[in-house]
């Protein structure tokens, strides 16, 4: 009877542990724990979090700091942190960080052999069993920043051998053409990342069925092809990412960092699907010798980044770090606190955002990202192919690895500076099952390899009323890197023609688009189109057709075989903004800038009775502008402005580097 009672009490306690969710917004910072710190130091850091309004933190659970001199498990250092978190009401995201070399600041992403995998399994067991006693434990981050390239070791070779049984190499395709280049390396990397995460999740669930499971990807503009987000959803409770300007925003300049955070957020939001997401790592302080560039975020940038995340329906974010680590390559860097452990202006900026979000949590926490109906889609095989074809290491634009992403980002930047945030997602994340795609636009920017399985989906999308905008070398290859311009172009009927040839042009050139009075800057390739009778000519180069519009079922395709998005980044955004205003029917958006606004962007949330718009001014001048409303039934109220911004009716004034948040409610 005593045993039964004891088991019942254990079950009740297990069910009640960690039942309390952290408060919205889930904003906090990494409390960096390392030997040498005192109990007073650690308690002070959690007190700072509490006083700053932060509700969560992240702790890197170093296996190498969890053993005593005899080699036995000793969790004393981390117990101190978890107890301090409980005293100050902070929920902990603990990150598994299995033993690695002393100089390894990011940790390994996959085991090198079966022995290391077994040691990791024991580490997971020890940590999950010990720390589930704490109510401060909220989540486990499965491994720090999964992904980053193929590793040739015994574990990988064994895993690939098994994977190859269902993913064999082929000598010839179904038309008899030899397969000389394949994309299996890229596909396997994505598989391995998913396998590792799923394995860790299963190990945790052996000992804890209730703890929240989370993962942060990183360097998304370079590594997104390794992240098969839809396959992560079944074993994760939330998604996350690392978005460090000094590491990950190399495709952008300083004035575009808020834009980079926006695109990064959109990709994670889409990948998460119906699951919640936070930005697991946001730069908190100065990078001196680590990172790709030296950088210290301004207080204004901290504000912009947090509101960008919240405006993409993110639940919050975690700064890397609160306190600076004292040892290693990153020592003395990245922190929100100064060397006397006192809050900086960056902490105060974060606290202002937290205070506003808490005050308006009833509205903000229930808001949904407004779906503009405009979708920039990336196809994993295109990114695999670009990398495979650039293995020679040559980095000459526009063939260098990253050109595809830059072309996509050009469209994202143009639309954002028009006041509309497009969706940014993998093609498998788009819902092609609908029967009506009116008011939906898909942009395929330089998606060089399109597998056959997506051809029918694209046909269905356009035939049912969707609009498809295509540029660059989209459709140049299939999934086996065969040039379908030679072996039979499967998109001929959909696009309204086929390519006679592509010509590379290393001097600036333009496309005069008939009917729209717009001249678009092209870049890189000029595609000469052999068009079908169903299409109409949009642009010519002498007697050669270089852009067309095609009617396909109830929808339309615009095909401009040059790098339009990349060209906009190099030669100016305004022409493409004018073109997309008409082609994407931006006048149907609920909120829009009255005209293209360079270095100003807007994100929109849908509330229960209206909208919330978040506007950033990254220019060096005060902007006086009008926000166009589709309906005049809404009145404006500023929820947040960190400088002198104000909005009267639809007229907005916003200062340089300012963030303004406006609630639009029914009159």
Please indicate, yes or no, whether residues 215 and 90 belong to a single structural domain of this protein: yes
Both tokens of 432, joined, read 């092609």
Please indicate, yes or no, whether residues 43 and 127 belong to a single structural domain of this protein: yes
Q: With respect to residue 364, please indicate whether it lies within any of the assigned structural domains.
A: no
CATH code for position 197: 3.20.20.80
d(CA 493, CA 531): 10
Query: Got the DSSP string for 187-254?
Result: HHHHHHHHHHHHHHHHHHHTT-SSSEEEEEE--HHHHGGG--HHHHGGG-SEEEEEE-HHHH-TTS-G
**The predicted structure's pLDDT at residue 5:** 41
CA Rg, the chain, in Å?
26
Strand partners, 624: 653
The answer, yes or no, to whether residue 12 has pLDDT greater than 60, is no
pLDDT tens digit sequence for 290-313: 999 999 999 999 999 999 999 999
Please indicate, yes or no, whether residues 387 and 347 belong to a single structural domain of this protein: no
Q: With respect to residue 94, please indicate whether it lies within any of the assigned structural domains.
A: yes
Please indicate, yes or no, whether residues 510 and 636 belong to a single structural domain of this protein: no
Please indicate, yes or no, whether residues 584 and 595 belong to a single structural domain of this protein: no
The answer, yes or no, to whether residue 247 has pLDDT greater than 60, is yes
Average pLDDT, the chain: 95
Please indicate, yes or no, whether residues 575 and 599 belong to a single structural domain of this protein: no
Q: With respect to residue 210, please indicate whether it lies within any of the assigned structural domains.
A: yes
Provide mean pLDDT across the span 596-611: 97
Backbone angle region of 65, left / alpha / beta, with phi > 0 → left and psi within -120 to 50 → alpha: alpha
Q: With respect to residue 367, please indicate whether it lies within any of the assigned structural domains.
A: no
What is the number of residues in the chain? 667
The answer, yes or no, to whether residue 401 has pLDDT greater than 80, is yes
Under 8 Å between Cβ of 257 and 301: yes
CATH code for position 635: 2.60.40.1180
Q: With respect to residue 366, please indicate whether it lies within any of the assigned structural domains.
A: no
Q: What are the contacts of 646-655 at 24+ separation with CB within 8 A?
A: 650/626, 651/624, 651/625, 651/626, 651/627, 652/615, 652/623, 652/624, 652/625, 652/626, 652/627, 653/622, 653/623, 653/624, 654/600, 654/615, 654/617, 654/622, 654/623, 654/625, 655/617, 655/622
Q: With respect to residue 365, please indicate whether it lies within any of the assigned structural domains.
A: no
Please indicate, yes or no, whether residues 500 and 645 belong to a single structural domain of this protein: no
Count of CB atoms within 10 A of residue 12's CB? 10
> How many folded domains does the chain comprise?
3
The answer, yes or no, to whether residue 320 has pLDDT greater than 80, is yes
CATH code for position 444: 3.40.50.880
As a whole-number percent, the residues of the chain with pLDDT over 70 amount to 97
pLDDT tens digit sequence for 183-232: 999 999 999 999 999 999 999 999 999 999 999 999 999 999 999 999 99
The answer, yes or no, to whether residue 258 has pLDDT greater than 50, is yes
The answer, yes or no, to whether residue 4 has pLDDT greater than 60, is no
CA distances from 97 to 102, 197, 624 (A): 12, 13, 49
Q: With respect to residue 557, please indicate whether it lies within any of the assigned structural domains.
A: yes
Please indicate, yes or no, whether residues 346 and 391 belong to a single structural domain of this protein: no
Provide mean pLDDT across the span 581-598: 97
Q: Which residues contact 506 (CB under 8 A, 6 or more apart)?
A: none
**The predicted structure's pLDDT at residue 656:** 98
Please indicate, yes or no, whether residues 342 and 400 belong to a single structural domain of this protein: no
Please indicate, yes or no, whether residues 303 and 315 belong to a single structural domain of this protein: yes
**The predicted structure's pLDDT at residue 570:** 97
Q: Write down the number of H helices and E strands in the chain.
A: 20, 26
Provide mean pLDDT across the span 322-335: 96
pTM for the whole thing? 0.96
**The predicted structure's pLDDT at residue 639:** 98
d(CA 493, CA 66): 63
pLDDT tens digit sequence for 157-169: 999 999 999 999 9
Query: Domain ends where: 329, 359, 389?
Result: 359
Report phi then psi at 28, rounded to 5. -165, -160
pLDDT tens digit sequence for 63-98: 999 999 899 999 999 999 999 999 999 999 999 999
Provide mean pLDDT across the span 137-159: 94
**The predicted structure's pLDDT at residue 13:** 35
Q: With respect to residue 419, please indicate whether it lies within any of the assigned structural domains.
A: yes
**The predicted structure's pLDDT at residue 18:** 47
β-bridge pairing 316-320 and 467-471: unpaired
Please indicate, yes or no, whether residues 573 and 598 belong to a single structural domain of this protein: no
Give the N- to C-terminal CA distance of the chain in Å, as an integer.
65
As a whole-number percent, the residues of the chain with pLDDT over 90 amount to 91
The answer, yes or no, to whether residue 145 has pLDDT greater than 90, is yes
Please indicate, yes or no, whether residues 21 and 121 belong to a single structural domain of this protein: yes
Provide mean pLDDT across the span 473-500: 96
620 band by pLDDT with thresholds 50, 70 and 90: very high
pLDDT tens digit sequence for 341-362: 999 999 999 999 999 999 999 9
Both tokens of 261, joined, read 């955070």
The answer, yes or no, to whether residue 15 has pLDDT greater than 60, is no
Dihedral sign, Cα of residue 447, residue 453, residue 454, residue 456 = positive
**The predicted structure's pLDDT at residue 103:** 84
366 band by pLDDT with thresholds 50, 70 and 90: very high
Provide mean pLDDT across the span 27-31: 98
**The predicted structure's pLDDT at residue 515:** 79
Query: Residue 523: which domain range?
Result: 374-588
**The predicted structure's pLDDT at residue 667:** 83
500 band by pLDDT with thresholds 50, 70 and 90: very high
Strands (E), 586-633: 591-593, 600-606, 610-617, 623-629
Query: Domain ends where: 564, 588, 612?
Result: 588
d(CA 252, CA 234): 33
Query: Domain ends where: 522, 556, 588?
Result: 588
pLDDT tens digit sequence for 642-653: 999 999 999 999
pLDDT tens digit sequence for 415-452: 999 999 999 999 999 999 999 999 999 999 999 999 99
The answer, yes or no, to whether residue 395 has pLDDT greater than 80, is no
**The predicted structure's pLDDT at residue 404:** 98
């Amino acid at each position: 009877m005593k045993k039964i009672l004891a088991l019942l009490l254990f079950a009740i306690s297990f069910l009640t542990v960690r039942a309390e969710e952290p408060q919205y917004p889930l904003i906090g910072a990494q409390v960096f724990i390392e030997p040498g710190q005192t109990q007073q130091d650690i308690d002070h850091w959690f007190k700072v979090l509490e006083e700053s309004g932060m509700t969560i933190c992240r702790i890197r659970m170093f296996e190498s700091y969890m053993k005593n001199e005899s080699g036995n498990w000793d969790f004393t250092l981390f117990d101190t942190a978890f107890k301090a978190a409980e005293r100050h009401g902070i929920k902990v995201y603990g990150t598994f960080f299995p033993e690695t070399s002393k100089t390894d600041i990011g940790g390994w992403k996959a085991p090198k052999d079966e022995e290391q995998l077994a040691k990791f399994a024991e580490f997971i067991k020890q940590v999950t069993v010990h720390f589930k006693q704490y109510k401060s434990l909220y989540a486990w981050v499965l491994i720090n920043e999964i992904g980053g390239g193929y590793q040739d070791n015994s574990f990988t070779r064994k895993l690939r051998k098994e994977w190859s049984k269902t993913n064999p190499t082929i000598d010839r395709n179904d038309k008899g053409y030899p397969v000389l280049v394949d994309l299996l390396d890229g596909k396997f990397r994505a598989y391995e990342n998913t396998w590792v995460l799923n394995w860790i999740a299963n190990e945790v669930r052996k000992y804890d069925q209730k703890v929240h499971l989370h993962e942060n990807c990183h360097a998304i503009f370079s590594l997104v092809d390794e992240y098969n987000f839809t396959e992560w959803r079944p074993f994760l409770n939330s998604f996350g990412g690392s978005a460090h300007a000094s590491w990950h925003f190399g495709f952008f300049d300083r004035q575009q960092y808020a834009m980079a955070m926006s695109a990064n957020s959109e990709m994670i939001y889409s990948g998460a699907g119906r699951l919640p997401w936070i930005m697991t790592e946001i730069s908190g302080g100065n990078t001196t010798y680590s990172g790709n560039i030296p950088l210290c975020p301004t207080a204004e940038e901290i504000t912009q980044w947090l509101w960008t995340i919240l405006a993409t329906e993110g639940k919050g974010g975690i700064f890397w770090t609160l306190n600076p680590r004292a040892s290693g390559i990153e020592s003395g860097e990245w922190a929100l606190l100064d060397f006397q452990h006192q809050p900086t202006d960056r902490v105060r900026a974060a606290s202002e955002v937290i205070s506003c979000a808490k005050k308006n949590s009833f509205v903000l926490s229930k808001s949904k990202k407004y779906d503009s109906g405009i979708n920039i889609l990336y196809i994993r095989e295109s990114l695999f192919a670009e990398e495979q074809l650039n293995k020679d290491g040559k980095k000459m634009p526009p063939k260098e690895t990253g050109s595809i992403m830059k072309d996509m980002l050009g469209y994202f930047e143009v639309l954002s500076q028009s006041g509309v945030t497009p969706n940014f997602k993998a093609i498998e994340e788009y819902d092609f099952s609908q029967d009506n795609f009116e008011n939906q636009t898909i942009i395929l920017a330089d998606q060089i390899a399109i597998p056959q399985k997506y051809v029918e989906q694209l046909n269905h999308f356009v035939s049912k009323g969707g609009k498809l905008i295509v540029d660059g070398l989209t459709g140049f290859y299939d999934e086996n890197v065969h040039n379908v311009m030679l072996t039979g172009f499967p998109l001929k009927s959909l696009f309204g023609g086929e390519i006679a040839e592509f010509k590379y042009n290393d001097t600036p050139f333009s496309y005069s688009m008939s009917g729209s009075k717009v001249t678009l800057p092209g870049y890189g390739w000029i595609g000469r189109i052999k068009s079908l009778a169903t299409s109409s000519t949009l642009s010519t180069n002498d007697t050669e057709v270089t852009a067309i519009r095609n009617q396909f079922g109830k929808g339309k395709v615009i095909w401009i075989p040059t790098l339009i998005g990349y060209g906009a980044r190099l030669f100016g955004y305004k022409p493409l903004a004018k073109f997309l205003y008409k082609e994407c029917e931006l006048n149907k958006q609920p909120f829009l800038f009255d005209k293209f606004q360079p270095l100003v962007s807007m994100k929109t949330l849908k509330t229960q009775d209206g909208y919330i718009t978040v506007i950033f001014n990254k220019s060096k001048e005060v902007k006086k502008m009008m926000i166009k409303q589709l309906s005049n039934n809404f009145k404006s109220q500023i929820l947040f402005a960190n400088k002198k911004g104000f909005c009267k009716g639809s007229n907005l004034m916003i200062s340089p580097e300012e963030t303004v948040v406006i609630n639009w409610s029914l009159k």
